[in-house]
């Protein structure tokens, strides 16, 4: 079987993007060239590796097996290139980070400070819902992952990054906004506007409400924090969200001082157990932990 390393890279780009044209852009080649190279890979393997359905590429069983084989090869080569660059006193390389959507409120700031220190490093940041981040984690597509509820069924290196308090919010003009203390039962008649089932915030919220023996009388599910905040500000109901999603300015919203809240959740930095982090990923991990420690100490 004669497949070049560049062809393996191209096939991995196809597996990650689900598109021949997108894979061609990633590899900086024309689409005809990418199509020809992928045909050569398929011919070398001797089995169909993918099929196109409704303009979307779907890997076959053999294609998934090839992707699983190629990823650690590409990862080892990237790590080798970084070690060589480090030995030469260079700082070039690539860092891939995947985070759940709520983490977008603080991770870009951490990436920004890292970029200032290492301007030659290319960074890819994937902001997705929890299910998609976990799928990338299972496939080992990135260097590091940030989420609030790591999956229990995967062996992981798991480092607590910082607290992720979940608070109850209402419109700024809500009658309970001025109360010093609010009992949860006072919200019984309210509509709760919550993230979709499967999100880390929703999982923590459901578990906490069960523990308190509270069942909302009405629930509206929305798929983004922005939609939730707009709905709460529009007086459609109350919600439970990460304090980080509010940012420093949220004039149209009020955090209610509800008994039993905030929910004490945590942000986690994880990667597959046994995975050797690249030198750049190790440097970024140290930067991340150091910056967060500074935040917590009020630096």
Distance, in Å, from the CA atom of 20 to the CA atom of 34, rounded to the nearest integer, reads 7
**Strand ranges for 61-155 from DSSP E:** 93-100, 121-128, 144-147
**Spelled out in words, what is the top-level CATH class assigned to the domain 1-90?**
mainly alpha
For residue 87, what pLDDT is reported? 53
Q: What is the rounded CA–CA span in Å between residue 138 and residue 226?
A: 28
pLDDT value at position 231? 95
Which helix (H) or strand (E) segment holds residue 123: the answer is strand 121-128
Structure tokens at 204: 């923590």
Q: What is the pLDDT of residue 299?
A: 52
Mean pLDDT for all residues in the chain: 89
Please give the average pLDDT of every successive group of 10 residues along the chain, which has 299 residues: 87 90 89 91 91 87 91 81 61 84 90 86 90 92 93 94 95 92 94 93 95 93 93 95 83 92 95 87 89 75
Cα separation of 32 and 28, whole Å?
A: 12
What per-residue confidence (pLDDT) applies to 88?
A: 53
> Which pLDDT value is given to residue 280?
85
User: What's the CA gap between 299 and 232, in Å, rounded?
Assistant: 33
For residue 33, give the 3-state DSSP assignment: helix
Q: Which fold has domain 164-265?
A: D-Maltodextrin-Binding Protein; domain 2 (3.40.190)
Domain residue ranges of the chain, discontinuous segments joined by + = 1-90, 164-265
């Amino acid at each position: 079987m004669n497949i070049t390393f560049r062809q393996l890279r191209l096939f991995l780009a196809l597996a990650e993007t689900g598109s021949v044209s997108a894979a061609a852009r990633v590899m900086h080649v024309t689409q005809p060239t990418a199509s020809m190279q992928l045909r050569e890979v398929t011919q070398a393997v001797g089995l169909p590796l993918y099929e196109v359905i409704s303009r979307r590429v779907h890997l076959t069983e053999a294609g998934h097996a090839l992707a699983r084989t190629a990823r650690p090869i590409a990862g080892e080569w990237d790590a080798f290139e970084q070690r060589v660059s480090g030995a030469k006193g260079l700082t070039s390389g690539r860092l891939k980070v995947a985070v759940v959507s709520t983490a977008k409120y603080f991770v870009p700031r951490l990436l920004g400070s890292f970029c200032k220190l290492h301007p030659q490093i290319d960074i890819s940041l994937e902001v997705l819902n929890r299910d998609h981040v976990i799928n990338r984690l299972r496939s080992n597509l990135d260097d590091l992952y940030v989420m609030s509820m790591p999956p229990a069924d995967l062996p992981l290196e798991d480092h607590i990054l910082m607290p992720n308090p979940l608070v109850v919010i209402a419109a700024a003009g809500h009658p309970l906004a001025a109360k010093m203390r609010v009992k949860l039962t006072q919200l019984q008649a309210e509509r709760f506007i919550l993230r979709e089932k499967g999100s880390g915030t929703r999982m923590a919220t459901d578990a906490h409400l069960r523990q308190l023996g509270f069942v909302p009388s009405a629930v509206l599910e929305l798929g983004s924090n922005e939609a939730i905040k707009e709905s709460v500000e529009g007086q459609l109901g109350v919600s439970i969200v990460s304090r980080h999603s509010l940012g420093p300015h949220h004039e149209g919203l009020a955090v209610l001082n509800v008994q039993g809240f905030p929910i004490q959740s945590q942000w986690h930095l994880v990667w597959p157990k046994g995975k050797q982090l690249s030198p750049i990923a190790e440097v970024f991990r140290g930067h991340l932990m150091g910056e967060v420690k500074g935040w917590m100490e009020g630096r």
